[in-house]
Amino acid sequence: MQYAPLGRTGMTVSRYALGTMMFGSVGNTDHDECVKIVHTALEAGINFVDTADMYSTGESERIVGKALRGRREAVILATKGHFGLEEGLNRSGNSRRHLLNAVNASLRRLGTDWIDLYQVHRPDWSTDLEETLGVLTDLVREGKIRAFGCSTFPAHELVESHRVAETRGLMRFRTEQPPYNLLARGIERDVLPVAERWGMGVLTWSPLGFGFLTGHHRTGAAASARARLRPAWFDPENPQVARKLAVAEELAQVADDLGRPLPALATAFPLAHRAVTSVITGVRTLEQLRATLEHVDLVLDDAVLDRLDAIVPPGTDVYDPQSPMPLPWLTDPALRRRTAPTG
C-alpha cells in the first residue's frame, strides 16, 4: 500500500480509501460482514475510511463506528453532512444550524470524540460560504473535527471559498471529493488544477463509472443484476448508454493487454493524475474488497495513459457525473433570464 499527504492537513492517508456507501440497507445489510470488510482493509494497509451521514440514513456510520472500536487511533476517519436524514425545514444544507446538529449526530453514531476530515457533501447555493466556513472553523477549534473539505464543488466555488476564507480570517476547505473515472474526466479541465494550486487533497469517487467499468456490462451481453434492477440506466437503445458501452469495450481491451481486469485499470486511473491523493473504493462485499486489494500495485505508465487518452481525451465526459445534482441556474430559467419590462 502506498501513502500520500492529505493536502496540507499534515495527515497521511493510503492511496486507496475504503468507501462505505454500500454498508447498510442500500447495500450490504450484514453488519458482521461489513465490519470484517473494514478490518480486512485495515490489515491490508488502508488507513483511510470514508462514510457519510446519509448512507443508509446513518446506518453506515453506526457500522463503521462498531468496526473501529479499539482501532480508532490508527485510522483517518472521514464523514460528510449536507443531506437531510428526515423531512422538515432546516434539516439539510450547509447552514450553521444544520452542520452543528449533523456533526454531533455523526459523532454519536460513529462512537468517537473526533472526526479527522468532515466534508460538506454538496454545495448549498442558499447559504453564504462565510456561514459554512465559519461553523466548520469553530468545530475545528472545539476539537470535534480535525480538518474539513467539500465534495462535488465546481471549480469557481472552490476559488470563492478560498477568497472568503482569506478575507474573513477563516479556515479553508482542505480537500475536495469529486467524481472521476475513465468515462468522466471533466474535472481535469478546472477542478483538479484549482485543487492543486490551492494545495487541496483530492479524494475521487465512482472509479467504476456507476458500474460501466466493472466489466459486467458489455455490448451484446446478458443483462446483469444491476441492469435488471435499473433497466433505464443500462438500456443500449439509449445513445448515451450505447456510447458508454462502446468506450468500455475499448478500455477493456487495454486492461486485457495489461493482463489485468477492467476494474483494476479503472481504479488505478485516478491515481495517475498528479493532483489526486486517494481513490475511494466503495465495495459491497468482502470478495469485492479482496479483488481490489489484489491490484493495488498497478501503476499506469505513459504508454498506457496515452492509449487511454486516445480513447477518452483529457477533460472529456462520456456521461455527466453531475446529472443527479444539476446546477440550479441551468434548470431554473428565472436564474438566467432577465425579466422583460412590463407596461
For residues 271 and 236, give the distance between their C-alpha atoms in angstroms, rounded to a whole number.
30
Does the pLDDT of residue 220 top 90, yes or no? no
Return the SS3 of 277. coil
Contact 177, 152 (CB under 8 A): yes
Domain 3-335 belongs in CATH node 3.20.20.100: yes
Q: What is the pLDDT of residue 191?
A: 97
Tens of pLDDT along 222-272? 445 555 556 677 777 888 899 999 999 999 999 999 999 999 999 999 999
For residues 195 and 47, give the distance between their C-alpha atoms in angstroms, rounded to a whole number.
23
How many CA within 13 A on the CB side of residue 196?
Answer: 12
Is residue 319 among the annotated active site residues?
A: no
User: Containing H/E element for 67?
Assistant: helix 59-67
Q: How far is CA 126 from CA 54, 143, 151, 155, 332, in A?
A: 20, 27, 17, 18, 14
* Domains of the chain, residue spans: 3-335
Residue 149 DSSP label: E
Amino acid occupying residue 318: V
Q: Active-site residue among 55, 118, 180, 319? A: 55
Tens of pLDDT along 91-135? 899 999 999 999 999 999 999 999 999 999 999 999 999 999 999
User: Containing H/E element for 80?
Assistant: strand 76-81
Q: CA-CA-CA-CA torsion for 11, 132, 190, 122, nearest 10 degrees?
A: 90
Contact 271, 194 (CB under 8 A): no
Tens of pLDDT along 135-176? 999 999 999 999 999 999 999 999 999 999 999 999 999 999
Q: How many CB atoms lie within 10 A of CB 3?
A: 16
- Looking at every residue in the chain, the average pLDDT score rounds to 93
Q: What is the pLDDT of residue 277?
A: 98
